[in-house]
Structure 1
Amino acid sequence: MKLYILRSLAFSLLLFSLATCTTEEETITPREYPRLTTLPVTEVSNDGARLNAEFILRGDYPIAEYGFIYSDDYVGRMDFENSERISIEGNVGAEGFSAMISRNLRNNEEYHVKAYVRTADYLVLGEPVNFKSQGSKGPELKSMIPSSGHIGDEVEITSSDFGKAKWATKVFVEGSEAEITSFSETAIKFLIPDAVAEELLTVAVEVNGNVSSFEEKFNLYKPVISEITPVQTSFDAEVTLSGENFNPVKGSISVNFLGFKDVAFPAEIVTTEESSVVVRVPAGVDIKEPGITIEMNNMKTKVKQAISIKDPVISSFSSNTAKTGEEFTLIGKNFSPDPEMNEVRIDGKIAEIVTARADSLTVIIPTQIEHVYSSRSVEVSVNILGEIAYSDTFLQITDKWFRLSNVPFNNSAYIYQGMSTMDQGYVISNDEFWKYDPITREWQQETSYPGSTTISPSSFTIENLLFIMAGMELYEYNTLSKNWTQKTNVPYSGKRDLLTFSYNNIGYAGTGRSYDYHTYYSDMWKYDPTGDSWTQIANYPATLGGRRGGVATILNGHIYTGLGGSRNTGSHNYEMYKFDPVVEQWTRFDDYPAKSLANPTAFTTNSRAYFGSVNEPHGTTNLWSFDGFSWKKEPMAPRRMNFLFLLNDIAYFTAGSSGQFWIYDALQPD
């Protein structure tokens, strides 16, 4: 196609006469092609402007198309293909033509206009004219597809002519500018913006500052819930919300469970489809019947149907036996994976939760420093949202050291003495005298001690008779008649911290130190209750001379003794001796293996002799056992202990001045 640009009538006639001078832009032909000029623009207003053209020569070529091109760009860069264009339909008049631009003109902008005609072989452009626009109408909008959807959906709108200026075109949805993803003169695609938050949205297109809006509103989907399943659920379980208009795009929907005072707990979205949303019940929901809200497209819907959290169930334990201070696992269902939502009590004491799952809770069993257990068989419970589940079986506490209820008497280490018969324990504290029943775990006050002093008393037991020594006095207590009888005084000057024991209905007492702490003794005596008489036997063979606070216990017909302190220096003594009561002979055996010997303890159970001493830096009691051949370390006591008596192979202790009361059961598993 040949292109003609007509600059004037004279110039066109000149071209006509120069038939041999031809170019791609200007060609001389013997036929009469159309010539036209662009006339001044008229009727300029805020509704647009009228463009005008006049034929200089109509010519004899059939005109296939005619109209105007215009642009606000530099006139030298105006070309037919890239400029805005108005094509006029119908037959063209002989004198000229005009057209009204009613859209896409920017207010107060300088525009350049050229008239054009097109034949089958030629495109003829008139000289440009300029005008200053006062604006126009917005683009003519035809369709919007789809007319409903979600935030982020792509929508296409069409027009008869958006123009060519994509940079000057904007789409607004309810006042929020939308991202344009595709642009042509007749179609624009855009995304529903994130900022919208109403169901019915106005969509508008702005071209060169001129705006047109669809009468039809875009329908932004609001979630509709028709059903929740199941209505009874548990923490971390899946719940399905059925309905319509859900956005299947990941991250487009949020679901919250409403707790106390409507505090929101976000739920994990498992899957999303157009008709259903599957969520996981949040572990932190703090009421039994939480509300549910679903938010989508910046619109929130509260679910009317109620749901309920199932009650917890304890089905079993990781083990039916456990030790305090160690981890222990409850197995069941309907627990919360949030540790703070579960309250586990063991024997009524809250236990620290280490890990929590929907089907198990691992806790630390409260120590006996924190809690006095009612018995070794204890109940376990779980409280979740006010609903309490109890274990069908009891947990067995298997600590060798086990705490009982506090003693009822003054527990000063210097004024009490424990002793026992076969089935009862006794303690003298000042002049008070107490009896303990291991079956009922109860203390009963007995007839008061009648002696003149109870400072650092010592004792031994012969069948149902208790013998108390304090100062130089010796008193006998008959546990059957409950009477006190004064006996022959001890055959030595006042001593304290004696070594005492009994064997084969004979009592033994000796060593010790003076009340002024200056003199330590090694002498040993035996007492025959039948004749109420004392007889001196071989001295205690301490190499450092003298011994105070020693202890003794019987194993396999021999008395094993040791610990305590040595003469004058007050240092602890590790020497251990075995006494044969038949020949009244002392024999040294393996030294005590612990490093500290304060507050010594001795008793026999489980076919072993047990010796204990306080570990001074830590204030707890070491415990070692001896089988007649070698030493074995036993579990350390939880704190500093003082031995009272042995009943039914169980050793009973008090703990310092706190009044705590403990037992040591060697038969409990390690």
Structure 2
Amino acid sequence: MKKAILASIFILALLLYISCDKDDDPTPDPEPQEVEITSFSPTSGTVGTEVTINGKNFSSAKEENNVTFGSFKAPVVEASPIKLVVQVPTNAVTGKITITVGSSSATSATNFEVLETAEPVSITGFAPKNGDFETIVTIDGSNFSETLAENIVKFGEIQAEVTGATTSKLNVKVPNGANTTLISVTVGENTAETQEYFKLPIWRKLDDFPGTARRSAFSSVVDGIAYVGMGIGDGNLYDIRSYDYITNTWQEVAPYPGEGNIAPAEFVVDGTTYVLDGLLGGEGLWSNEFRSYDVETNEWTDLQDFPGLVRYRATSFTYQERGYVVGGLTDTNTSLADVWEYNNNDGTWIEKQSYPQPDGIYDATSFVIDGQAYMGTGGLGTGSESSSHFYKFDGTNWTAIANLPQSAYSRSGAVGFAINGKGYVGLGRNHENYLYLQDFYEYDPVANSWTRLDDFPSHGRSSATAFVLDGKAYVGLGDAGGDLDEQQDIYLFDPANIAPE
């Protein structure tokens, strides 16, 4: 009996051993997945061009993908099971692309065309160095294309028309809308840029003002439309015209009430124009009447009279939603230095700290930069002298800043305006030498310094008019003195054409 039991145990153990031995047999390796290339792009390029290859069964590990262009191995930039990004290797020639992952390989059905690397474009010079729209500029250099369309020439961001081309010379036309800028030439993937700026004029003649020639006129800007009028020319004037810079058109609007208004003070607050009377209708007619003009209704409204002395040739500006009137000449030809602030919310005037010129100031100019008011130049006292001093104003206090350059004449009747964080002052009359001036200056408030710009391109003059629309100033009218008298011309001033130093 014991022998039978032992035999049974032996047989059972043997069966268990055989069963375990079968379970320990290794599982056969799976069949390898075949690499496949379905497409690639671009289909041509120079050495170094990145090529995207689409397909199947690539490795996510970049180093496990062996990619060759012919017999030359390509660097793998990106890798996933369905896409590789590679660079065309050095010395590659036109041919098929092969990818090997492990023991599996695939070759593209079509060739990748290896293009010759273009020689770099260079610019050695250009002429002329300045000009206006449509000016033909000749660019000298190397490796331009003889095919016009293959040379992409830009003045800044604006593409120019290429009118002639050889491998070493291009003739191009300055495009409309260009500003002072560097010129670039692109041929294929190669670009070169000039070291010097091509300069366009900062001044450009526009159509004359359609009304009577005049000086000491009024101007304001509301909602992108300028309003110009009044002053003196063929008599004392009260007509007003609006100017739309987009359509370049003038249109008559409601005239100023009364018998004409010479050298009034004006400012704009909350979209409303306010005008303080100057000299009315002729010698000896004075008024301290104060009015507002609504551009929506095209109507003038009488307001409470100005509480200060009657005056004309005062300086006015808007600062922090308040209107200011400074100085001027009275009916007794007395020069004033008083400063008045107007609050349009309650219609009240407050007298402020006087302008820092004890003998008074008239025909000065002003501008406002980033919420800071500036005022300067002007006639002094009885009129035999003029000033080149400038001050900044914080609503209460006046602080001296840099005067006009020492080489500049003192003056009255100048124009002033601000564009893109810079102030601009020019024209006027020098009292000491009886000169009508053409010079123009730019003020940098950060450096507290003045830089002389190109002169105004027409007659020197005083009591001109200036206004700013869309980052450009419109300057004109005024008194050129002698037989020239009142002017009717208007010029566009574009600071974008001031070349960087």
Please state which band the TM-score falls in when normalised by the shorter chain: 0.3 to 0.5
TM-score (norm 2): 0.44
TM-score (norm 1): 0.33
| Larger strand percent | 1
Bigger Rg over Cα: 1
Which of the pair has the greater relative contact order for Cα pairs under 8 Å at 6+ separation?
2
